[in-house]
Structures are given as structure tokens and as C-alpha cells.
A and B are shown apart, each in its own frame.
Chain A
């Protein structure tokens, strides 16, 4: 796979809600979205398998497509992290996400409902919890509401994992 090629795409219906502080499903003009609170850090989790065509050298970039429920000003912060499940690498009775990488202080679109796309890069290796080709993993997306200041829900519409 070449740098710049899409590896995986997730939609809100792929969400595997965490046990607490989960982003919740909503419909916006019949578009399924995941609502992330403005007051509490909430998360969505997506499970996948790293495609065999991932080169494993340049890492990945995660693109978040989101719209604001009502805010037309101020900023939003997102955290993204990987959890390697792999081949006997993780006892799935517990969570073990790696440290987050963040995209912070993004000024939200001036029209609520316009979908903005932000991205977070991960170098290959420990930065993405050493997920290798053919290995199962989970991807967690969290709105860092405790740090951002845009009012109302942030609504996640799509997630793309691209080879950097």
C-alpha cells in the first residue's frame, strides 16, 4: 500500500460503546452521528484489523469528520489512541489503550452542520501501540471537552485511517 492510501473507514454504526462516558447515537437529518458532550469527556471505540497492505513504515493518519450540533464559534479538541489486540498480545478482559495523540484548538465551522475534517498522525510502532499488519485493534476517539470551549455536542460523522 502506498503512502496516502486509505486503509479503513468507520461510520457511527461501527461504534462499540465503552462501558462509561460513551458518545451516544443520534440522527441528524437521517445521518447517523455520535454525540460527544460539551461538559464530559466522552469516547467512541471502533474495532478493526490492520489491512495486510499496510506497509508498516510511515505510520497512519486518522481523519475525524465532525460537525457541531449548534456551536459556530470557539474550539474543539479531539484525542485518538490505539489498542493492540493482536495475536495473544492482549487479554481482552481489560483495556490497554496507548497514550493519546491529539488535535486541539480547532476552530469549529461557522455554520453548525458543516462537516469539518481534522487529522491526527501516528508514527509506526509504539505510538500506535505497535499494531502490525493482520492484527486486530481498537481505535478510541475522545472529545476532550474538559479542555475545549465550543458549546453543545460535537457530532462525529466518519473516521478514516490512512497510511501516512
Chain B
């Protein structure tokens, strides 16, 4: 079960702690949008007291339904990396964005379902030390806007720049846990109403009343297999002792 957000009565999941406070950044999630006539927010990290100084993944429904990886800058120009193709309604899509900084330039990339890559680079500054909020389904700056209309699941943020090839594998349904786990800072699968970051330990608080809905098909790291080995006979007939022969099944953990 994923989380279902209603833009008409905005729903969101919020924690007033930043998933990370540095670069490079990769965001990943699955979305199932039911209204592409509006702009909607998937996932972001914010300076809660400011109108800028944050980053997010968003769906630009008022244009061509593109995925946008966006940085709202303190100085300079906003970064808007838009995919070359757009989403469709009532369909699971994988959304992916990266942000890196080199000198005074911030660069973003956006990939939809592992492709349709868009990029943007701008002269810009942000103050990452002031990021203090992580929010799903709504912007989390000083004036929240653009709520999600649809489902969100499998939210992940890395402090690293994952590759286009990794984005393609994520888009095939592999869990974020398979990819550069040492840099994975935030992972909220959002299964049912379990609003918890399994890596960073952040626990979300509901805003509004997000519901639960069907989850996307994901391949997770599998637990150990358990296999029953053939039975073996116990040692018996030790002189002076009366052992009853028994058979033992051994449980082997692979």
C-alpha cells in the first residue's frame, strides 16, 4: 500500500528535520498521479522559514506534465531540470533527479522512468546548513503550495549523484536499498501507513488525512532462504545407555 494524497484538501507527510544537509543529492520515488492539470510536489527538503533555499521533485501539470528537479535559490537563478516527456494519469511512473554543485554553479538532472533526461545548470547559491524540513506531497517552505494529487511510494534520497544507469534500474522496480547504500540517507517506502524513514530514522507526521492505496511492484532485497535438509539418524546404542533412535531434521540457513 502506497500513500494517497488529495490536492483538494491537501495532504502531506512532514518531519522538521532535513534528510541531508549537503551535496551531491539524488532523489527517487514512484508516483501515480490522478490529476495532471495542476503542478504537484513529490518530495523535497526545505528551509522551513524561507520562501526559497530548498529543492524538490515536482510534476509540472500546467505545462507538458514533465517531471522537474528543482532548486529554489537564495541568489542567482532557480534550477529547473525538466524531462523531455511527460507523465500519464493513473499510471505508475518512476521519478528521479540529481543535484550537484561545483563552484558557483548548481546543476540538476531529471529522469522519468529511467529516460527522457532533462538538465539545467545555473549560477546560484543555497544555504544547505539551513535546511530543516523534509516533506512529501506538498512544498515545505514558508508558504506551502502545489499539493500532490495521487499516490507516492518508495521515496529515497542519497548524498551522492547516482548515474543514469542506476536510474534506469530503479525505474525497473528495484528497491533503493540496492544502490549505493552507504550514501542512502533517507528511505521511506510508505507501505501502508508506515510513515517512517528506515535509514535515517525520521518519523513523519501527517498533514491533512493521507489515505493508503495500492503500492507499486518493487523487488526488495530478499531474506534468507530456509531449506529443509534430509533427516539424519541420531547416535544410538552406546554401551550402558539406552538411546532411542530418532531422526532429526536440520534447518539450514543459506
**Which residues of A are at the interface with B, using a C-beta cutoff of 8 A?**
1-2, 5-9, 11, 13-18, 22, 24-28, 35, 48, 51, 53
List, sorted by A's number, 11 A–B pairs whose CB atoms are closer than 8 Å. A2-B231, A5-B228, A7-B227, A8-B225, A17-B218, A24-B217, A26-B1, A35-B1, A51-B228, A53-B228, A53-B229
With contact pairs A9-B226, A53-B230 given, residues A27 and B218 touching in the complex (Cβ less than 8 Å): no
For A27, the chain B residues whose CB sits under 8 A away are: 1, 191-192, 194
Q: Mark B204-235, 1 if CB is under 8 A from A, else 0.
A: 00000000001111111111011111110000
Q: Give B1's nearest chain A residue, CB to CB.
A: A26
Bound Cα distance from A15 to B175, whole angstroms: 13
A26 in contact with B230 (CB, 8 Å)? no
Bound Cα distance from A17 to B216, whole angstroms: 10
B254 to chain A, nearest CB (A): 10
B215 in contact with A24 (CB, 8 Å)? yes
B60 to chain A, nearest CB (A): 28
Q: Give B194's nearest chain A residue, CB to CB.
A: A27
Q: Identify the interface centre among B194, B219, B225, B227: most chain A CB within 10 Å of its CB.
A: B227
- In this assembly, does B249 line the interface, its C-beta being within 8 Å of a C-beta of chain A? yes
Bound Cα distance from A6 to B229, whole angstroms: 9
For A2, the chain B residues whose CB sits under 8 A away are: 231
A7 in contact with B228 (CB, 8 Å)? yes
- In this assembly, does B10 line the interface, its C-beta being within 8 Å of a C-beta of chain A? no
- In this assembly, does B173 line the interface, its C-beta being within 8 Å of a C-beta of chain A? yes
Bound Cα distance from A28 to B212, whole angstroms: 13
Bound Cα distance from A124 to B211, whole angstroms: 46
- B217 CB contact (under 8 Å) in A7, A17, A51: A17
For B222, the chain A residues whose CB sits under 8 A away are: 13-14
Beyond A5-B231, A13-B221, A13-B222, 14 additional contacts (C-beta under 8 Å) are A5-B249, A6-B228, A8-B227, A14-B222, A14-B225, A15-B219, A17-B217, A17-B219, A24-B215, A25-B218, A25-B220, A26-B1, A27-B194, A53-B229
Bound Cα distance from A13 to B220, whole angstroms: 7
For B226, the chain A residues whose CB sits under 8 A away are: 8-9
For B229, the chain A residues whose CB sits under 8 A away are: 53
